[in-house]
Amino acid sequence: MYTIVVKGKPQGPYTLEELKQMAILPDTFVRKPGMDDYKEAHEIAELRELLGFVAPQHIPQYFASFDQRLMAWAIDYFIITLVYAIIVALAVVYIADQQLRMVLLITGIALVPFTKFLYNVIGDASKTQGTVGKKLMDIKVTDECGARITLGISIARNLAKILSNFLFGFGYIYCFFNKKQQCLHDVIAKTLVIKDRLL
């Protein structure tokens, strides 16, 4: 017999057959007699088998907080801006044509956001599962089962950040109302940003 959490309230108990008829999601919190606490449905072997959920490769213990994610973003932006500043400085020193220097300066400024996009796409889909900023903050991007994301999902996630920036950044504020601290682009791409517990 299982008890499930619906809209923050325990309901049940239900048999396995009853659960099969219900709209149970992988992240629905479930508990049965003998369990110390609720677990997500996809963490329980018999429910995975019954409902066809994928076994989590890694169960996140902490979801990255907004300030950790913001700090990682700031570190990455600083690194990219610094590289462009060095390139522009070298251009000023070695290129005599003032008009060409201005073109390089304007082009460099315009390319910073695009470079940041490519940097995030490649970094989030890499073996480290994150950029240098995320690595320094000890956080990483995963799918909803805690596994490394594909390049395609990484592209979708970073494109969805355009939506997160609309309405004064509401997509980022959304993480404060989400139990897994997912921003809007994480929900769209079905990704998590996690931080492992330090034991």
Confidence band (pLDDT; 50, 70, 90) for 199? Answer: very low
Instruction: Give the mean pLDDT of the chain.
Output: 85
The residue written with tokens 């890694």 in the block is: 58
Run of H or E including 38: none
pTM score of the predicted model: 0.66
Q: Point out the least confidently predicted range of 44-48, 59-63, 99-103.
A: 59-63
The pair phi, psi for residue 39, each rounded to 5°, is -130, 160
What is the rounded CA–CA span in Å between residue 199 and residue 188? 32
Calpha distance 41→93 (Å, rounded): 61
Question: Which range has the top average pLDDT, 2-11, 111-120, 150-159?
Answer: 150-159
Q: Which of 139, 127, 170, 128 is nearest to 71 (CA)?
A: 139
Q: Which amino acid is at 175?
A: C
Give tens-digit pLDDT for 49-71.
778 777 665 555 588 989 999 99
Strands of the chain, DSSP E: 2-6, 9-14, 29-31, 39-40, 62-63, 140-143, 191-195
Per-residue pLDDT at 192: 92
Q: Averaged over 78-92, what is the pLDDT?
A: 85
pLDDT at 56: 61
Reference 175, options 186, 188, 189; nearest CA is 186
Q: What pLDDT, on the 0 to 100 scale, is given for residue 94?
A: 81
Which range (68-72, 95-99, 176-180, 183-187) has the least confidence? 95-99
Q: If we measure between CA atoms, which residue out of 160, 171, 137, 8 comes closest to residue 67?
A: 137
Q: How much helix, strand and coil, in percent to the nearest 5, is found in the chain?
A: 55, 15, 30
- E strands, 95-148, where? 140-143
- Note the pLDDT of residue 133: 95
Strand order in the sheet with 140-143: 62-63, 191-195, 140-143
At 3-32, the pLDDT tens digits run: 888 877 888 888 888 888 787 888 788 888
Question: Which tokens go with 172?
Answer: 């980022």
